[in-house]
């Protein structure tokens, strides 16, 4: 099963709002929830959003997730320098068999 499709990069100035898209299919996002991870080089990925819209404890409310059909989005409001990282969406895929599929990843740059 193919990775979920994300833009390679997005950028914004401090304080701005950026949105990262994640495009899947009826076999994954279309029927399963989406998770989002933040990954800084040299560290372990961090779960930012689970169940498509839920922030785990400790994640700032600047991060929000949404879904629509076979796509999902992660919005970062009030962009901060420490938000510069790679971001991955992920969802379970059911075709041909169940597996956890990561997105292609998006590099967020704070200008």
Partner 1 sequence: QVQLQESGPGLVKASETLSLTCRISGDSITSDHWVWVRQAPGKGLQWIGYIYYTGSTTYNPSLKSRVTISIDTSRAQFSLNLGSVTAADTAIYYCARDDSRGLPIWGQGTLVTVSS
Minimal distance in Å, beta carbon 45 to partner 1?
6
Q: DSSP readout, 4-25?
A: BB--SEEEE-TT--EEEEEE--
Give the count of alpha carbons within 13 A of 81, CB side only: 0
Nearer to partner 1, 13 or 41 (CB): 41
Nearer to partner 1, 62 or 102 (CB): 102
Minimal distance in Å, beta carbon 5 to partner 1?
11
Nearer to partner 1, 43 or 81 (CB): 43
Q: Which two tokens stand for residue 106?
A: 């998006």
Nearer to partner 1, 47 or 75 (CB): 47
Minimal distance in Å, beta carbon 18 to partner 1?
19
Q: Which residues bind partner 1 (CB under 8 A)?
A: 1, 3, 35, 37, 39, 43-47, 50-51, 54, 56, 88, 90, 96-105
d(CA 96, CA 81): 40
Residue 78 gets which letter from DSSP? S
**Are the beta carbons of 22 and 3 closer than 8 angstroms?**
no
């Amino acid at each position: 099963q193919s990775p979920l499709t994300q833009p390679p990069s997005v950028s914004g100035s401090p304080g701005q709002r950026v949105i990262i898209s994640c495009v899947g299919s009826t076999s994954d996002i279309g029927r399963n929830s989406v998770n989002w991870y933040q990954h800084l080089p040299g560290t372990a990925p961090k779960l930012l959003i689970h169940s498509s819209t839920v922030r785990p404890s400790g994640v700032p409310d600047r991060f929000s997730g949404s879904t629509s059909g076979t796509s999902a989005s992660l919005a970062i409001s009030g962009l901060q320098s420490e938000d510069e990282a790679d971001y991955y969406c992920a969802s379970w895929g059911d075709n041909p068999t169940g597996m956890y599929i990561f997105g292609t990843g998006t590099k967020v740059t704070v200008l």
